[in-house]
Amino acid sequence: MNAEIVAVGTELLLGQIANTNGAYLAQKLAEIGVNVYYQTVVGDNPDRLESVLKTAEKRSDLILTIGGLGPTEDDLTKQIVAHHLGEPLVIDNDAKAKIDQYGAKLSNNLKQALKIQNAISLTNHNGFAVGDLYLNQHGTSYVLLPGPPSECLMMIDRELMPQLKKLGNQNRVFKSRVLRFAGIGESQLVTDIADLIDHQDNPTIAPYAKLAEVTLRVTASAADEAAADALIQKTVDKILARDGRYFYGYGDDNSLAKVVVNQLIDRQLSVTAAESLTAGEFQSTIGSVPGVSAVFPGGFVTYANEAKQRLLEIPAEVIASHGVVSEATAIWMAKQAKLKMKTDIAVSFTGVAGPDELEDQPAGTVWIGIAYRDEDPQAYLYHFTNGRQQIRARSVLTGLDLIRQRLATN
Amino acid sequence: MNAEIVAVGTELLLGQIANTNGAYLAQKLAEIGVNVYYQTVVGDNPDRLESVLKTAEKRSDLILTIGGLGPTEDDLTKQIVAHHLGEPLVIDNDAKAKIDQYGAKLSNNLKQALKIQNAISLTNHNGFAVGDLYLNQHGTSYVLLPGPPSECLMMIDRELMPQLKKLGNQNRVFKSRVLRFAGIGESQLVTDIADLIDHQDNPTIAPYAKLAEVTLRVTASAADEAAADALIQKTVDKILARDGRYFYGYGDDNSLAKVVVNQLIDRQLSVTAAESLTAGEFQSTIGSVPGVSAVFPGGFVTYANEAKQRLLEIPAEVIASHGVVSEATAIWMAKQAKLKMKTDIAVSFTGVAGPDELEDQPAGTVWIGIAYRDEDPQAYLYHFTNGRQQIRARSVLTGLDLIRQRLATN
């Protein structure tokens, strides 16, 4: 099945927002083996939208539109597709009941309960505008999705994908698993498994690099789930045999912070931090994980030297003789933070976020300390690049990875 | 001039990355009055790329491609456009000299020095692949840009836009100014200036909402810069007469954190924070602004009640009798943080990030305290929504806005 995504909205066309809905939908379609060969963005203009649909019909079996289902005059996607298909719009009673219940006072809202006759309704769990799946056995099928990301993504996951999986090749299942790595660059990982990637067929392997993280998506198709799982597992085993020490977890909706915090919760190990250049970003990052309060009592942001002395009681002469960006200061920060918060683990960050140098050391010079229970605290030196925000973010991820590595050794 | 953006790359098509280059280019073109009516994404496939170009030529005067200029076999954009135009590819000597100097050892690199005959070369300041501007007075003109964002954005800013401005309507300049607001929602702001938006012509007004922030872009065209500025100023005056108290600054590359930190630096007022639910995110946010060390010595992350007592010496009975999510606790946190760090200002955050309730209060219940010099500290109650990360992020922005408002009153 050849699919094409058409995103509708002047704010997309003018570049005020990026087409992240389209990227998400394309990913989900790829996972079930639906090929997307084209994506188009067009404004809220009836003639141009219709001309885009005509071009798309010549080359695609399935057209998925995003946007233009709302209550305003600009929202015309459903009207144009219905007209193009020669089908009337009819009221979807469930959507109307929801609008009557919550949205009666808003003008024009009833428009959002309209669906194309003969289409399957796609429920909107985060809004009023109902979506459509219009199947056309002898021509192009249509899917209509709402534009707001919270509505669109939920409708894709909970309504559209289950329908498409049912429709798809009934004798074939597609499954995929995402492997997440930290502490290794994309180019190194791809080099390590180059032969697997070069000869990929089923499963396929798709690498993707983010800030200080790399993921691999392994996708297999087979006659049933168990067979697909077995294919995936065989490839995963080969990958982990080579780079398993950098692997930290599975899943799209996962992160190094989640994995580390959940390991700490499982093992009942508490954590704190003393942050200089990162200014609270490490603590804020672990704070993003629900349940972290069980292992994280709080910690210190010690930006100025005086704060390091006052809050952590680091002797002034340590900083004076070794410098604030130094192994000794990083070790003292971790040691004192752990002592003061009475935790099992403390991490410390001291370095040069930039743009200016500090103590003659260039931006990106970072010492990260770790104190673990009764062991001697250690500190490690890094040289990060690419500006202030990247230097801080990579420091935080590296601090998380140091904890992960330490937990892996016992 | 009608323009169309064609982004080339299988990783875009599969949704592995979003088309942020396209969004940026569309914004820049809008600023100089070039209309973009279509954007298309197509994979690294010669036939499909050529068919997209044919469709685009029928409806656009200028086609701008992004991607496919690199050294690998997949990179074919230049070859296909050249073939389509009936022009040969020739060596760009400057680009070749750069490759000879730095990249001689890499195979295939010379391919990146090719340009379309009769095109104006666009220098690549962050890479090897040269860009093209091919002007066609009697047909469609072409621009070819590289895919990596660091190369693409720099080439747009430093090479393409100056060329297009020269070419554009020589008697017309386009200017735009972005106004930034906090503490007011998009719908309220748009309602307040509905008559200005409805009757917009020159200047135009484009609203855009982000998390707890709204921006308005005011764009004017005129015979010269001074005339465009005067038109913009007249509209800006009208907008600020209505909602000036929510206005905090100008510019695309600006933020509430930048404005507040720079005000603090200008007025030599120091700041600290005591953070519970935000877990360091406020401090990390001000830490992102270069130069903040002049006014920010550090602060506290007091996630657990015990940390509030130990680090801030808040009496246990305050929390026991009022609750941790309370006006009294927020006030004590701000007061004690200010005292301990000896700053002019302290902000405190205590609330329910969720997903679970706390002290029978729902997720989103947040008290933000502010202590300013010798004044009595105050705390304010908010009810935020949309999940843990949004609740924390809106808390941080609201804390910044409380400081901004306090500074505005004297």
Check which CATH number belongs to the domain holding B51 and give it: 3.40.980.10
- CB < 8 Å to B39, chain A: 12-13, 19, 40-42
Rounded to a whole number of angstroms, the distance from the CA of B90 to the nearest CA of chain A is 30
Structure tokens at B159: 């090479």
Which residues 300-339 of B are in CB contact (within 8 Å) with A? 300-304, 306-308, 310-311
The beta-carbon neighbor of A26 closest among B13, B59, B308 is B13
Residues B312 and B348 in one domain: yes
Q: What tokens were used for B80? A: 């296909």
Whether B298 sits inside 8 A of A304 (CB atoms) is: yes
Residue A325 scores a pLDDT above 70:
yes
Which pLDDT belongs to residue B232? Answer: 95
CB-CB neighbors (< 8 A) of A319 in chain B: none
Boundary (domain end) residue, out of B250, B281, B299: B250
B38 vs A41, A307, A388: nearest CB? A41
A18 within 8 A of A149, measured Cβ to Cβ = no
Q: Which residues of B216-242 are buried (b: 16+ CB within 10 A; e: fewer)?
A: bbbbbbbeeeeebbebbeebbeebeee
Residue of B2, B6, B12, B16 to mutate, testing the A interface (most A Cβ within 10 Å of its Cβ)? B16
Is the Cβ of A107 closer than 8 Å to some Cβ of chain B? no
Element (H, E) at A277: none
| B96 and B199 share one domain | no
Q: How far is B114 from chain A (nearest CA, A)?
A: 26
Residues 112-171 of A with CB under 8 A from B: 150
B215 touches chain A (CB under 8 A): no
Q: Are residues B212 and B291 in the same domain?
A: no
Model confidence at B172, pLDDT cuts 50, 70, 90, reads confident
Instruction: With cut-offs at 50, 70 and 90, classify the pLDDT of residue A168.
Output: low
CB contact burial B172-194 (16+ within 10 A = b; e otherwise): ebbbbbbbbbbbbebeebbeebe
Give yes or no for B230 touching A (CB within 8 A).
no
Please choose, from the candidates B300, B365, B165, the residue with its C-alpha nearest in 3D space to the C-alpha of residue A274.
B300
Distance between CA atoms of residues A264 and A286, nearest Å: 11
Residue B235 sits in a domain whose CATH number is: 3.30.70.2860
> In chain A, how many H helices and how many E strands?
16, 17
pLDDT confidence of residue A31: 79
At residue A170, the pLDDT reads 57
pLDDT number for residue B106: 58
> What is the residue-averaged pLDDT of chain A?
91
Distance CA B67, CA B241 (A): 45
Assess whether A187 and A153 both reside in one domain.
no
pLDDT at A107: 58
Q: Round the average pLDDT of chain B to a whole number and report it.
A: 91
Chain center to CA of A52 = 30
Whether residues B156 and B178 fall in one domain: no
CB within 8 Å of chain A, chain B residues 237-266: none
Indicate if B215 and B329 belong to the same structural domain: no
Q: Are B193 and B205 in contact (CB under 8 A)?
A: yes
A265 and A329 together in one domain: yes
Q: Which residues of A touch B355 (CB under 8 A)?
A: 290
* Shared-domain flag, residues B274 and B321: yes
Torsion (CA) A69, A75, A79, A82 in degrees, nearest 10 = -40
* Identity of the highest mean pLDDT range in A45-54, B5-14, B139-148, B331-340: B331-340
- Among A217, A232, A250, give the residue marking a domain's end: A250
Q: Are A204 and A236 in contact (CB under 8 A)?
A: no
Cβ distance A357 to A363 under 8 Å? yes
Give the domain CATH number at B375.
3.90.950.20
* B279 in contact with chain A, both atoms CB, cutoff 8 A: yes
Residue A241, pLDDT > 60, answer yes
Among A8, A11, A19, A49, which would you mutate to test the B interface (most chain B Cβ atoms within 10 Å of its Cβ)?
Answer: A19
Nearest to B1 by CA among B28, B25, B37: B37
Residue in A closest to B32 by C-alpha: A14
Q: What is the mean pLDDT of residues B381-405?
A: 93
Q: Note whether A22 contacts B: Cβ–Cβ < 8 A.
A: yes
Apex A317 CA angle, A312 and A320, nearest 5: 105
For residue B271, the distance in angstroms to the closest alpha carbon of chain A comes to 12
pLDDT at B214: 85
Q: Which of A28-37, A373-382, B129-138, B221-230 has the lowest mean pLDDT?
A: A28-37
Mean predicted confidence (pLDDT) in A76-92: 94
Q: Which residues of chain A lie closer than 8 angstroms to B55, CB-CB?
A: 55
| Res. B115: pLDDT tops 70 | yes
Domain that holds residue A334: 256-408
Query: How many residue pairs from chains A and B have C-beta atoms closer than 8 A?
Result: 225
Contact A26 B15 (CB under 8 A): yes
B284 vs A contacts (CB less than 8 Å) = 278-281, 284, 392
- In this prediction, residue A229 carries a pLDDT of 95
Which residue in the set A27, A307, A353 is minimally distant from B15, CB to CB?
Answer: A27
Interface membership of B108 toward A (CB under 8 Å): no
User: A342 falls in which pLDDT band (50, 70, 90)?
Assistant: very high
Tell me the helix, strand and coil percentages in chain B, rounded to 5: 45, 25, 30
Q: Which of A284, A303, A340 sits opposite B278 (nearest CB)?
A: A284
- The reply to whether omega before B71 is within 30° of 0 (cis) is no
Burial of B35 (0-12, 13-18, 19+ CB in 10 A): middle
Q: How far is A310 from chain B (nearest CA, A)?
A: 9
CB-CB neighbors (< 8 A) of A13 in chain B: 26, 36-39
**A287 touches B: beta carbon within 8 Å:** yes
Judge if A220 and A367 occupy the same domain. Answer: no
> What is residue B104's predicted lDDT score, i.e. its pLDDT?
56
pLDDT exceeds cutoff 80 at B215: yes
Helical segments of A244-289, H only: 256-266, 281-287
DSSP structural state of residue B276: S
**Is the pLDDT score of B72 beyond 90?**
no
* Residues A260 and A183 reside in one and the same domain: no
pLDDT at A12: 86
pLDDT of residue B93: 92
Of B16, B24, B277, the CB nearest to A206: B16
When pLDDT is averaged across residues B264-287 and rounded to a whole number, the result is: 98
Interface test with B, best of A16, A324, A386 (most B CBs within 10 A): A16
- pLDDT confidence tier of residue A137, bands split at 50, 70 and 90: confident
* ipTM of the complex as predicted: 0.78
Say how many domains are in chain A: 3
Q: For residue A284, give the nearest of B22, B51, B280 by CB distance.
A: B280
Q: Are A348 and A368 in contact (CB under 8 A)?
A: yes
What confidence tier does A103 reach under pLDDT thresholds 50, 70, 90? low
* Same domain flag for B327 and B246: no
Q: Tell me how far apart the alpha carbons of residues A330 and A208 are, in angstroms, rounded to a whole number.
A: 33
Q: Which of B250, B284, B315 is the last residue of a domain?
A: B250
Shared domain for A201 and A310, answered yes or no, is no
Partner residue opposite A298 with nearest CB, options B43, B45, B300:
B300
Pairing of strands A213-222, A345-351: unpaired
**B392 shares contact with chain A (CB less than 8 Å):** yes
